[in-house]
Each structure stands twice: as structure tokens, then as C-alpha cells.
Amino acid sequence: MQLLKPEDFEPWVGRKVRVNTLPTAVELTLERIERRPPFARALDFREPFSLFFDAPAHVFLLDETYEFDCGKGGPYNIFISQLQPSANLRHYQAIFT
């Protein structure tokens, strides 16, 4: 299994990504990628990073693993968690360590 890297997601930034949910799929927008400092060299398998997604207020997803399909290079099973929503948007985060 190949470890995903921040570069794998760079083409998605600012674009809608399909998330396979039931009964119908929804779309989230990848707003940004946040890179984190690497861990100790002995644990340096990949650069840690987070993905931040936005969705309309009516798109409510649980903290769960979903199949994300960007139309190329996927689909990827990604665990997302909810962040504090704003007035018109819901926000989600995926952390890769």
C-alpha cells in the first residue's frame, strides 16, 4: 500500500471532491492542505499533513471513513472529522501522520 503524500492532493485544492455516501453521494471542496513538521527521523515515513474540506450547511457527515473520488488517482478511503461549522458552511478535516 502506498502512503499518500500532500502532493497527491494538490490538484484537488479549490475543487469539489465526490464523497460516496448513502443514499446519494455528496461533494466537498478541498480548501487547503496544511503541512506539519516531520517527526523524529526514525519515524519519518512521510511528511505529516492535514486536509481541510468545506461543504454546504446541509451536508452533515459523521466522523467516519468515507470513499473520496477525485476522478483520478482514487478512490481513497479517508477518515474525516467535523470542525466547528460557520454560518453557511460545515468544515471537515483529515489528518495524515
Query: 7-46 pLDDT, tens per residue?
Result: 889 999 999 999 999 999 999 999 999 998 876 665 666 7
Q: Domain locations in the chain?
A: 6-96
Q: DSSP for the chain, please give it.
A: -PPP-HHHHGGGTTSEEEEE-SSS-EEEEEEEEEE-----GGG-SS--EEEEEEEETT----SEEEEEE-SSS--EEEEEEE----SSEEEEEEEE-
Query: 51-97 pLDDT, tens per residue?
Result: 999 999 999 999 999 999 876 667 889 999 999 999 999 999 999 98
